[in-house]
Amino acid sequence: MIKKLLTDLLGISTTQQATLTTTSGVLGAILTYSFGGWSEVFGFLLLAIVIDYVSGLAASIIEGKGLSSKEGFKGLFKKFFMILIVMLAHRIDILLGTNIIMTGAIYFYLANELISITENYGRIGLPLPNGVKQVIQVLKNKGEATPKDKDVQQ
């Protein structure tokens, strides 16, 4: 069914399908190795990263500041390095035999992204519901919490 859809509707050749399948498999293996597979909290972080970036662009346009490729690339580099820290935290979890380091890193960056989104929405002129603000505070507190010694296995 999918093969027929790719070939007939999208005009993708068998060779292109093989390339797409192989590339998807390799990327999936790399992501699984790097982040331990897919989790909802990691997916939410990636979604927040995209929304923060786009809302920052929109806020700059609305404020009349325009778009700067230098500032845009600077923002992308920051987000790339956030993801690298999450990857590093996963590898540390493996070494320590825990699941807490990566989760803590994700919550930390997620809180920062959500705060930034809140600021961007303020710059755009859109209010955020109190419930969203409360969730951001909870996530911020989770990101700042440090594991107790007994939680980290040696």
Whole-structure pTM value? 0.69
What is the pLDDT, as a whole number, of residue 103? 92
What is the pLDDT, as a whole number, of residue 129? 83
Q: For the chain, which residues make up each domain, given as ranges?
A: 1-36, 39-151
14 — phi, psi (to 5°)?
A: -60, -40
What is the pLDDT, as a whole number, of residue 51? 96
What is the pLDDT, as a whole number, of residue 10? 67
Q: Which residues of the chain have pLDDT under 50?
A: 149-154
Angle (CA) 87-90-93 rounded to 5° is 155
Q: Which residues of 34-67 are buried (b: 16+ CB within 10 A; e: fewer)?
A: ebbeeeeebeebbebbebbbebbeebbeeeeeee
What is the pLDDT, as a whole number, of residue 127? 82
